[in-house]
Structure 1
Amino acid sequence: MKKLKAGIVGCGGIANGKHMPAMKKSGLYELVAFCDIVIERAEDAKEKFGEKDAAVFEDYKELLRLDLDVVYVTTPNRSHAEISIAAMESGKDVMCEKPMAKTYAQALEMLETSKRTGRILQIGYQNRYRADSSYLHKLCEKEELGDIYFAKAHALRRRAVPTWGVFLNEEEQGGGPLIDIGTHALDLTLWMMNNYEVESVIGSVFHKLSDSDNQGNAFGNWDPEQFTVEDSAFGFIKMKNGAVIELESSWALNILDGEEAKTTLCGTKGGADMKGGLRINCIHENLPVVEIPDLSGGGVDFFSGGSKSAGDIEQEHFYDVVVNGREQIVKPEQALVVTRVLEAIYESAKSGKTVYFS
């Protein structure tokens, strides 16, 4: 079995928490190069996950000179495009962490580079590989919910502001909960609907709780002076076929029922939500019925139960795409639309106007 020689650019939280453990566990990759602007992080990653002779760099351009099959871009959002484009132009396939880029223009350049170079570009929307997501998507593909004309994308936390890294830095990230976790919820919702034709977007962002000194935050107190992004954001998206989506996101919001990376769908034949587990609702024999599928394992593509997480399956699927030419589950064209909608919500919030797509 061919193993892919992989380089990691950005050895912070998401690389250590998701990508590198799953790559190592899969046995499909040789982690032979690590890069981080804090060299100690790269060295630590090598010790935990790398081959004995793995190289360590501070400059990603040096890493790209190596003979690698794939490059993982797990840096702050600001540099996703720059590094991904350089990697593809150097002949490597790329796994880039979500969101695709900080701006739509950057994301578009990434897609154009992928097409021009013929290199694979995959975006890290791992929630598509969850058992509930995979099962629900199959139902949607078979049109068992009918025409989905109303949906909600949920990414709500009561008090879980990330206080590490650059999450609170607008220059590095481009925003707060909307671009961080709202992006997952929107990606899931658009994927279920199989609808990427957006007509218009209107949104609002808030900085209502970021200055609070009575925080109750799950990750410890944040520094209000460093909190330069929104603490919550909301958008209303109208599709060209008339369907509508409500997108809600927060790191800090006075709400009891938090829901993250979840979707609610309403169609002409039935509906679905992920509250407390996947629930399908429909009408049978003139009576309202709720179906709760058993997703404990087996019978669902990309999920076999046991110890495999969505992140594990994501790495296996990326390998299959690169080595065996399997069709991508997360297509960069789809991720591009997600980034464009997020940017439109921020733009609408600043201007107070609806943003229309051509």
Structure 2
Amino acid sequence: MSKTIRIGIIGSGGIARAHGSAYKSMPNVEIIAVADSIEGKAQAFIDQEQLPLAKAFDDHRRLLELDLDGVSICTPNFAHHETAVNALHAGKHVLVEKPMSVTLQQSIEMVEAAQASGKMLTVGFQPRYDPNMALIKEIVQSGKLGNVYFVETGGGRRRGMPTGTFIRKELAGAGAMADIGCYSLDMALNALGNPKPLTVSAYTSNHFGTNPKYHKEAASFDVEDFGVAMIRLEGDIVLNYKISWAMHMDTLGATMFLGSEGGLKVTSAGSGPWSGVWDGSVGSMTLYHDVMGQHVQSTIPIIEHRLDLFAEKVRDFVAAIRDSRPAPIPGEQILYNQAIIDGVLRSAASKREVTIELPNWK
């Protein structure tokens, strides 16, 4: 009989419900603890989600004293760093929701804690589990495009600004970039094989979020609702990155990979004012190449599936614990994502290009 995997959940908001549902759907997995800093909220979550084996805690450090195999960190962004570092030092494997942290330095410390503890730190980018996202990476890595030298990615909602903790810099770190832009970055960087970012030149604004005409919490809105950046990556690759929560436009365009032997154009799935970003699936893929000197474009069929991508990432975390596998989406990879967001904020504030400096781990 397989060992029962014992799980704790830190943070009991809406995203924690998705984690809880995924864990409950798996055999030999038990949620035995839930922590939330707001008094009574963890117990309410346990009651609502019908978790009879779970204990409630107001302090996540007390939860970490239990015999747990892993924890899901579902707190607001600002608490990702402290809870992850504490959990790793307590000997627990960690699945942390995106974005990885609020600052680049926090992400570095999270990776260092994982390396020091020997425990897994994996970051919750569920779009990677879409077979179409895997196909994009396969095409880019196959050599069909030749030498990839330019990538354009990002997405934009005509209207789709969140509220609450998402719009306050002290709690979220960044706005549209941390919420939805990180998905665009992961899509591009993962397909390219995670090249190291070198420099960033960026611009950000928040014309919509700070205007009561467009946002009901305009007085509290102090993050960006739009950002654009030119990023130099190792391997002489340039990444054009753009993201928006709100705009007077229907789209910011497709994602494109330009190579010396071909190009790949990818559009996002979905429709409506909250669509147009890479937090979901793929709408279309087209390969542009030459055949016998003629310009040809080939439609890549979309892979139909019924996977619950969110549940897939949680299942993979559990499987990695059970099989003693490396982190499915390791913090070392997502560190580059965080470094770019940090670089965008620094460049936009200073109105100049900035250099990205990262630890040289062995």
Partner of 2:6: 5
Which deviations, in whole Å up to 9, do the C-alpha atoms of 1:135-185 show, x marking residues without a partner? Answer: 21222232232222111221311111112x311111011111011111111
Q: For 2:166, what is the secondary structure of its paired residue?
A: coil
The answer to whether the 8 Å contact 1:31/1:50 transfers is no
Distance 1:201 1:258 in 2: 20
Residue 15 (structure 1) aligned with residue 16 (structure 2): yes
Q: After TM superposition, list the pairs within 5 Å mapping 1:107-186 onto structure 2.
A: 107-163=107-163, 165-186=164-185
Partner of 1:59: 59
The answer to whether the 8 Å contact 2:195/2:235 transfers is no
Q: After TM superposition, list the pairs within 5 Å mapping 1:279-290 onto structure 2.
A: 279-283=285-289, 284-285=291-292, 286-290=294-298
Distance 1:190 1:184 in 2: 10
Name the amino acid aligned to 1:99: P
> Residue 263 and residue 324 in structure 1: after superposition, are their counterparts in 2 closer, same or farther (change >3 A)?
farther
Distance 2:25 2:339 in 1: 34
The answer to whether the 8 Å contact 1:178/1:342 transfers is yes
Aligned residue-pair number: 340
Q: Output the TM-score relative to the length of structure 2.
A: 0.88
Runs of 4+ in 1 over 6 A off after TM superposition: none
Name the amino acid aligned to 1:196: P
Residue 265 (structure 1) aligned with residue 294 (structure 2): no
Deviates more, 1:104-113 or 1:43-52: 43-52
Which deviations, in whole Å up to 9, do the C-alpha atoms of 1:232-289 show, x marking residues without a partner? Answer: 1111101132211111111111111267xx8432222322233152313132342312
Deviates more, 1:179-188 or 1:264-273: 264-273
Following superposition, the deviation at residue 213 of structure 1 comes to 3.2
Name the amino acid aligned to 2:211: S
Distance 1:335 1:145 in 2: 25
Distance 1:178 1:312 in 2: 24
Q: For 1:316, what is the secondary structure of its paired residue?
A: helix
Distance 1:202 1:142 in 2: 30
The answer to whether the 8 Å contact 1:28/1:319 transfers is no
The answer to whether the 8 Å contact 1:91/1:119 transfers is yes
Distance 1:130 1:104 in 2: 27
Name the amino acid aligned to 2:80: H
The answer to whether the 8 Å contact 2:317/2:328 transfers is no
Name the amino acid aligned to 1:239: L
> Residue 28 and residue 136 in structure 1: after superposition, are their counterparts in 2 closer, same or farther (change >3 A)?
farther
Distance 1:88 1:313 in 2: 23
Q: For 2:243, what is the secondary structure of its paired residue?
A: strand
Partner of 1:42: 42
Name the amino acid aligned to 2:4: K
Q: For 2:246, what is the secondary structure of its paired residue?
A: coil
Name the amino acid aligned to 2:310: G
Give the alignment's Cα RMSD to 1 decimal.
1.8
> Residue 257 and residue 77 in structure 1: after superposition, are their counterparts in 2 closer, same or farther (change >3 A)?
same
Distance 1:337 1:240 in 2: 12
Name the amino acid aligned to 1:344: G
Distance 2:118 2:50 in 1: 28
Distance 2:104 2:313 in 1: 24
Distance 1:12 1:315 in 2: 17
Percent identity, aligned pairs only? 28
Partner of 2:247: 253
Following superposition, the deviation at residue 327 of structure 1 comes to 4.2
Gaps of 5+ in 1: 216-220, 297-304
Name the amino acid aligned to 2:284: L
The answer to whether the 8 Å contact 1:33/1:50 transfers is no
Gaps of 5+ in 2: 270-282, 358-362
Partner of 2:266: 274
The answer to whether the 8 Å contact 1:282/1:289 transfers is yes
Which deviations, in whole Å up to 9, do the C-alpha atoms of 1:79-116 show, x marking residues without a partner? Answer: 11111010011110000111111111111111111111
The answer to whether the 8 Å contact 1:196/1:334 transfers is no
The answer to whether the 8 Å contact 1:26/1:312 transfers is no
Q: For 2:123, what is the secondary structure of its paired residue?
A: strand
Partner of 2:29: 29
Distance 1:258 1:240 in 2: 25
